[in-house]
Amino acid sequence: MATENPAPPQRTTDFQLRFPPFPQAPEGVEIVPFKDYKEVGILKETADRVERDALQIPTIALKSPHSKDICKTNAQSGWGDTEESRSIGAEGILEWWNVWEDMERRVHPGGYNDRLPPQARVQDAANDFIRARRKRHPIPQKVNELWDQIQLHLGLLVESTSESVSPQSDSNPNGPSRDDEEDDDVSGTNNNENRNLTFFENPAQSITMFLSYYVINQGWHLDDEKLREIPRLLGFFVKYLIVNNVWPECNASLDRSQSIIDVASQELICTSKFSKALPDDLNYAFRDHWNINPDAFYGDPVPNDDSNTDTPTAEFEQSMKDADLDLIDPEDMEEAIEAEEGGDLGTENEQNADDGAAPASQSPEDDSVEQDWGRPGLMALLGPTALPITHTTGIVEQSMRRIVDVIPPPKDASPLPHAKDPSPEAVEAELERRFTKVVLSPWLGSKTGSDEPTISTLSKGPPHNPWKDNITIFVGENAAKELRVGMGLGGSWIQMARQQDFEIQDDKKKKKKKGKKSDDRFWYMCSLMTVLTSYHLAPSDVENYVPDL
């Protein structure tokens, strides 16, 4: 029986496609010959903190990651230089945020179902986010607590307001009723729903408020460690939402949130540094020299209008004349003081004894401002200076102000020539030559969460508008290093007025000086009560805000 021989195998030369020649490349596509190809590596730093190669092409995460897959760029850190981003803990291991940086490019397998509502997707992402990191590396207890606070603020975690009821509590007539407990549950649920709605309506606004008002309200601004770790932790979560495309319809708002977090990573810790650095030795020296405490003598808030500030003074003087009351002339007062000092009237205690009154006790508590004798005084800082002769206190203000400029002293400035007579201009020029100037503008509105600017009853001198006028203070070199333009300082500010501002002028000079403002005089910080970040947002500044009762 005859059999058919199998067909011989097809030779490579018989295939339909043969190379060369190579087919033409599609239009607009350029094929690089292998001899011209140059391998490119991963960029160490990127502006958007996404791992890219040298051609700015994002890397692709493997669907099944390997144990050695790590992020090859330090761009994910976003919290400072390389040394800080790869810091080693006390036990010789990487800090928790270094471990998390290596996980930044791990995309969740399969992604998130875009058919689910945003609340469900973000909730699932939050659970996956923290679960994966707990498996990879033990999370410190303090970080777990901060994560719970973040979830509470964003409305991702229900806050329990009532404890479980034991069987014995039902028989206790003095115990809380079931209705009260239900009211507590409803209140807690409503608060959680409000936070949830705020975050899902405007993520950037909610996160901004968390990193400003909420941090202060919780007292975290007193803990340097929390001020550093809060933006780190929140930044990792927001980045996870963006990279995994959990909430694509709100990516623009999440990008704005990431920008705020980047600023917060720098400014939150500065709120603590400001509080420790200010007032500095120079401003304390000014305060101790003039020895007044404005914080106890404040009047009503200053109305925000453009009316002439000379009008109230004129009306007051006219009302005194109508009542047949004489105003004491400053020159007459000075003559009376000189006569009393040169006369034989005895001491104050002797006069009081003759009147049958007990002599006033002389104690350190009588001073308006408590002095710390360990601090350097005015002469120790400035040397021989005519400042006590040429200057006095003027306007005394309590307000919130924003740093708009930090002007260091000129380099290689030569000493000023010695003046024969005390000159306020020469004194101020010497201060400008030696110290940093900080220009502060009014920070108005409910964003600060503070009251309106207030002028103390201790004020005197030319008119000043705390709603519009900038002020300038001096600070030393160490304090100047910590300052950041845009941040807010709330406290008491005292003007260093010139003595000549209060001299009686003749009619010609008075006309020339009329309308002269006080904004060209320097000031000093008497006390610092509040430090705010540049992006600070209070609940009262949010539209349709309803305070919790």
Closest CA to 148 of 113, 192, 105, 186: 192
Q: Which of 270, 295, 329 delimits the end of a domain?
A: 270
* Dist. CA 389–CA 387, nearest whole Å: 5
Average pLDDT over residues 39-59: 74
Q: Are residues 296 and 256 in the same domain?
A: no
> Which of the four pLDDT bands, split at 50, 70 and 90, describes residue 5?
low
In this structure, what token pair is assigned to residue 195? 């936070």
pLDDT tens readout for residues 345-402 = 444 444 444 433 333 333 333 344 555 667 899 999 999 899 999 999 999 999 999 9
Higher pLDDT, 488 or 28: 488
pLDDT at 228 over 60: yes
Task: Give me the number of domains the chain comprises.
Answer: 2
Q: Are residues 286 and 394 in the same domain?
A: yes
The pTM for the full model equals 0.66
Contact in structure between 395 and 502 (CB atoms under 8 Å): no
Q: Report pLDDT for 162.
A: 41
Higher pLDDT, 305 or 515: 305
Q: In the 8-state DSSP scheme, what is residue 106?
A: -
Q: Are residues 257 and 291 in the same domain?
A: no
Q: Are residues 245 and 385 in the same domain?
A: no
Q: Are residues 127 and 242 in the same domain?
A: yes
Asked whether residue 243 is assigned to any structural domain, the reply reads yes
Q: Report pLDDT for 35.
A: 85
Q: Which of 270, 294, 321 delimits the end of a domain?
A: 270
Higher pLDDT, 157 or 326: 157
Q: From residue 118, give the alpha-carbon distance in Å to each of 195, 231, 236, 248, 427.
A: 15, 23, 19, 9, 63
Amino acid at 362: Q
pLDDT tens readout for residues 55-74 = 778 777 665 555 555 566 64
Average pLDDT over residues 125-153: 92
Higher pLDDT, 452 or 263: 263
Q: Report pLDDT for 137.
A: 83
Instruction: Name the range with the highest mean pLDDT among 25-39, 77-91, 170-184.
Output: 25-39
Q: Report pLDDT for 13.
A: 54
Asked whether residue 235 is assigned to any structural domain, the reply reads yes
For 203, other C-beta atoms within 10 Å of its C-beta total 24
Q: Report pLDDT for 346.
A: 43
> Which of the four pLDDT bands, split at 50, 70 and 90, describes residue 10?
low
Q: Report pLDDT for 435.
A: 96
Average pLDDT over residues 296-312: 54
For 498, other C-beta atoms within 10 Å of its C-beta total 21
Contact in structure between 468 and 376 (CB atoms under 8 Å): no
Average pLDDT over residues 481-491: 95
Q: Report pLDDT for 73.
A: 60
Q: Please give the share of the chain, as a percent, with pLDDT higher than 70.
A: 60
Rounded to 5°, the CA angle 489-493-499 comes to 155
Dihedral, CA of residue 284, residue 289, residue 290 and residue 296, to nearest 10: 40
Asked whether residue 2 is assigned to any structural domain, the reply reads no
First to last CA, the chain: 104
Asked whether residue 252 is assigned to any structural domain, the reply reads yes
Higher pLDDT, 383 or 90: 383
Q: Are residues 264 and 375 in the same domain?
A: no
Q: Among 12-16, 176-180, 456-460, whose mean pLDDT is lowest? A: 176-180
For 177, other C-beta atoms within 10 Å of its C-beta total 9
| Cα 42 to chain centroid, rounded | 35
Q: What stretches of 278-298 show up as alpha helix (H) in DSSP?
A: 281-290
Average pLDDT over residues 172-193: 46
For 367, other C-beta atoms within 10 Å of its C-beta total 12
> Which of the four pLDDT bands, split at 50, 70 and 90, describes residue 322?
low
Radius of gyration of the chain (CA): 35
| Cα 465 to chain centroid, rounded | 25
In this structure, what token pair is assigned to residue 68? 């050695």
Q: Which of 220, 249, 270 delimits the end of a domain?
A: 270
Q: Among 101-110, 186-195, 251-260, 309-318, whose mean pLDDT is lowest? A: 186-195
Asked whether residue 312 is assigned to any structural domain, the reply reads no
Higher pLDDT, 431 or 198: 431
Q: Among 233-242, 317-326, 339-348, 470-479, whose mean pLDDT is lowest? A: 339-348
Omega into 424 within 30° of 0, i.e. cis? no
Average pLDDT over residues 300-310: 55
Q: Report pLDDT for 351.
A: 42
Return mean pLDDT, the chain: 75
Asked whether residue 114 is assigned to any structural domain, the reply reads yes
Burial class (CB in 10 A: 0-12, 13-18, 19+), 293: middle
Q: Are residues 533 and 386 in the same domain?
A: yes
Asked whether residue 434 is assigned to any structural domain, the reply reads yes
Q: Are residues 285 and 431 in the same domain?
A: yes
pLDDT at 181 over 50: no
* Dist. CA 161–CA 168, nearest whole Å: 20
> Which of the four pLDDT bands, split at 50, 70 and 90, describes residue 320?
low
> Which of the four pLDDT bands, split at 50, 70 and 90, describes residue 256?
very high
Q: Report pLDDT for 30.
A: 85
Higher pLDDT, 401 or 78: 401
Instruction: Name the range with the highest mean pLDDT among 28-42, 123-137, 313-327.
Output: 123-137
Q: Are residues 287 and 255 in the same domain?
A: no
Q: Are residues 288 and 219 in the same domain?
A: no
Q: Report pLDDT for 367.
A: 41
Asked whether residue 360 is assigned to any structural domain, the reply reads no
Q: Report pLDDT for 305.
A: 58
Q: Among 18-32, 45-59, 207-221, whose mean pLDDT is lowest? A: 45-59
Domain holding 483, by residue range, is 281-305+367-502+515-539
Q: Are residues 289 and 393 in the same domain?
A: yes
Higher pLDDT, 280 or 325: 280
Amino acid at 131: R
Q: Please give the share of the chain, as a percent, with pLDDT higher than 90.
A: 40
> Which of the four pLDDT bands, split at 50, 70 and 90, describes residue 94?
confident
Q: Report pLDDT for 21.
A: 77
Q: Are residues 379 and 452 in the same domain?
A: yes
Q: Report pLDDT for 80.
A: 41
Q: What stretches of 49-202 show up as alpha helix (H) in DSSP?
A: 82-85, 96-101, 118-136, 141-154, 167-170, 178-201
DSSP assignment of 392-445 equals EEEEEEEEEEEEEEEEPPPTTPPPPPPPSS--HHHHHHHHHHHSEEEEEEE--S
For 329, other C-beta atoms within 10 Å of its C-beta total 10
Q: Among 198-212, 244-258, 265-279, 303-317, whose mean pLDDT is lowest? A: 303-317
DSSP assignment of 478-498 equals HHHHH--TT-EEEEEEEEEEE
> Which of the four pLDDT bands, split at 50, 70 and 90, describes residue 51?
confident
Contact in structure between 395 and 291 (CB atoms under 8 Å): no
SS3 call for 60: coil
> Which of the four pLDDT bands, split at 50, 70 and 90, describes residue 180?
very low
Q: Among 22-36, 406-420, 464-478, whose mean pLDDT is lowest? A: 406-420
Closest CA to 72 of 87, 58, 89: 58
